[in-house]
Amino acid sequence: MPVGSHLGRIQPPASFHPPPSRPHMPPLSLSHEQQELPTHVNHSAAPAPEMPTTLHSKMDELEGRLLAEVLALEKERTALSHSGHRQRQEVGKELDALQGRVAELEHGSSAYSPPDAFKLSIPIRNNYMYARVRKALPELYAFTVCAWLRSRSGGTGQGTPFSYSVPGQANEIVLLETGPDPMELLINDKVAQLPLSLKDSGWHHICIAWTTRDGLWSAYQDGELRGSGENLASWHPIKPHGILILGQEQDTLGGRFDATQAFVGDITQFNLWDHALTAAQVLGIANCSEPLPGNVLHWEDKLVEAFGGATKATFDICKGSAKA
């Protein structure tokens, strides 16, 4: 359509005055594409939305979300699968252990040993074989100490089955027998002679009870009371946080051992209580009818560390063949 005829459709307002006439100009020739353009163009309107670009963006975003969810679900499924596998393995191990234990019980197997079924052995007299108890003792106003002992000294003195030293006092508690002298109990360097004898190389159960009140003490061997006394370190509390050594006498805190005072033989079931046991309790322990672990220190493998060639071996004193 010619431009002039298209513009002729617009009616000028009533007050419109046409401009002065101009020389006649020939009409412009427009290309086909220009003729197809709309005549009225609103220059203030926003550009047409880019529909394909927006749609693709939303689709990409949705696709990303779905992919993330899929990956999360895959990870969760893998984790559950691994967890289930581990649980099955753990259950299987527990069942195997239980079945093994049942088989041991059915066939009377001795493969299982409780933590207190062991002995400490010191084969020769020297100043370097011993065991240290890895537990600190509290302050004590009374105690009972019991143990099974087998001396291999050949009758020349039992040495020192145990010693407890604290800072400033090497002889806080010591059980000692040297040469032909009788066995002695030292508390805070005070001495009482005990009517105990271990010279026959057999197993013997000994218990010693003491209380700070009047320094009362009692000594038992194989469940029988062998002697008692008083005024042994009266009113002296046993100091805490010392070092307890099996098999050697300490001249300083934790050391300076003397070979002539060393114990030679075997020790088991060394237990310590914070009170004096009754005669009936001592007898029950000695004849294995009523075992009673120490409430301050009980005989346990992980608490006894051997040094210098001293050894630990599985051993149960209360089995009939063990005492032979």
Could you give the CA distance from residue 147 to residue 134 in angstroms, rounded to a whole number?
A: 17
Residue 301 clears pLDDT 70, i.e. is over it:
yes
State the pLDDT confidence band at 56, using cuts at 50, 70 and 90: low
Predicted confidence band of residue 154 (pLDDT cuts 50, 70, 90) = confident
- State phi, psi for 256 to the nearest 5 degrees: 55, 60
Per the structure block, which two tokens stand in for 304?
């006894």
Q: What whole-number distance in Å separates Cα of residue 6 and Cα of residue 236?
A: 128
Percent of the chain with pLDDT over 90: 57
Q: How far apart are CA 130 and CA 248, in angstroms?
A: 6
Q: If DSSP states are collapsed to H, E and C, what string results for the chain?
A: CCHHHHHCCCCCCCCCCCCCCCCCCCCCCCCHHHHHCCCCCCCCCCCCCCHHHHHHHHHHHHHHHHHHHHHHHHHHHHHHHHHHHHHHHHHHHHHHHHHHHHHHHHHCCCCCCCCCCEEEEECCCCCCCEEEECCCCCCECEEEEEEEEEECCCCCCCEEEEEEEECCEEEEEEEEECCCCCEEEEECCEEEEECCCCCCCCEEEEEEEEECHHHEEEEEECCEEEEEECCCCCCCCECCCCEEEECCCCCECCECCCHHHECCEEEEEEEEECCCCCHHHHHHHHCCCCCCCCCCECCCHHHEEEECCCEEEECCCCCCCCCC
| pLDDT at residue 259, rounded to an integer | 94
Q: What percent of the chain has pLDDT over 70?
A: 70
Minimal CA–CA distance to 247: which of 150, 117, 139, 144?
150
pLDDT of residue 91: 58
Residue 25 has pLDDT above 70, yes or no: no
What pLDDT score does 303 carry? 97
- pLDDT beyond 60 at 77: yes
- pLDDT score of 43 more than 60: no
Q: What is the mean pLDDT of the chain?
A: 81
Contact 131, 306 (CB under 8 A): yes
What letters, b where the CB count within 10 A reaches 16 and e where it falls short, cover 44-78? eeeeeeeeeeeeeeeeeeeeeeeeeeeeeeeeeee
**pLDDT confidence tier of residue 96, bands split at 50, 70 and 90:** low
Phi, psi of 56 (to 5 degrees): -65, -40
Backbone phi, psi, residue 284, to 5°? -60, -35
Residue 173 and residue 297 in contact, taking contact as beta carbons nearer than 8 Å:
no
